[in-house]
Amino acid sequence: MTTIVLEVQQDLENDGWQDEDGTIHYDDRVLTPFGQLGTLKTDTSDDDQHVIVDAPEVVLIRHGFPTHWSMSVKGVSVDTTFAGTQVMTLRAKNGEVRYQLDPRPVRWSDGDEEIPFYLAQRIYSNYKKIDETE
């Protein structure tokens, strides 16, 4: 089985920035064979329901999390298709998104060790975009 390689493209002119919570952010991009890596962002609405804030086309999903989420977070499920691929579905107050989990090992371009993540490609999305501050 071939390995998926993640390549960091650094912005050497920018040292990043720090937000009001003290988290440091960088302008580096991570490229995958399927496009630029993004971050699946969710939040909780005022009525304590999950909402999807951002569902980019390519994300990393930690091994074990989809299964754990499906047991502990309402609206998350992992199913195996008739072709044997795993699909994670996230249903929220503002819609739904589905990701196909690639079973191949993942590693960084500057290392030999596998990282405990699935590379996931969005295969369906139907959600109303919201602002993180709402």
Read off the pLDDT of residues 105-114 as tens digits, 9 standing for 90 and up. Answer: 999 998 889 9
Q: Is the dihedral of CA 7, 79, 47, 122 positive or negative?
A: positive
Strands 106-108 and 4-9, how do they pair? Answer: parallel
For 89-124, the pLDDT digits (tens) are: 999 999 999 999 999 999 999 888 999 999 999 999
Chain-centre distance for alpha carbon 29: 14
Per-residue pLDDT band at 78 (split at 50, 70, 90): confident
Task: Return the pLDDT at 72.
Answer: 56
Task: Return the pLDDT at 129.
Answer: 87
For 23-76, the pLDDT digits (tens) are: 766 667 899 999 999 999 888 888 988 899 999 999 999 887 655 555 556 788
CB 16 within 8 A of CB 27: yes
Q: Which one has a higher pLDDT value, 112 or 86?
A: 86
Task: Return the pLDDT at 52.
Answer: 93
